[in-house]
Amino acid sequence: MLTLFGSIAVSIMFRPYWLEQRSKWMVLVFAVGSGLTSIYSGLAGAYPITATEALWAIAALQRFVKRHREHMLAAPEFTG
């Protein structure tokens, strides 16, 4: 069951990594996948990978927040 969880986590992380230039949401999905991979590697006892994946998740979350803010600033304001 742990191997299945790890396979799903890495699969969630892999594709958005290649597509993150298309959408800020792909960056968020990559961050979630990295977080899940970090949890998996921690459960499997591979602690250096746990730390590395956690750092990837944090970096991706920061990228998502930055892109989201840039997108919100660039969007025209609705004055109704």
pLDDT one-digit tens code per residue, 30-74 = 999 999 999 999 999 999 999 999 999 999 999 999 999 988 888
Is the pLDDT at 22 greater than 60? The verdict is yes
What is residue 45's three-state secondary structure? Answer: coil
Q: Which tokens sit at 40?
A: 């998996």
Is the pLDDT at 78 greater than 70? The verdict is no
What is residue 47's three-state secondary structure? Answer: helix
Which whole number is the average pLDDT over 9-18?
Answer: 85
Q: Amino acid letter at 37?
A: T
- Using an 8 Å Cβ cutoff, are 40 and 12 in contact? no
Burial of 41 (C-beta count, 10 Å sphere; 0-12/13-18/19+)? buried
Q: Amino acid letter at 5?
A: F
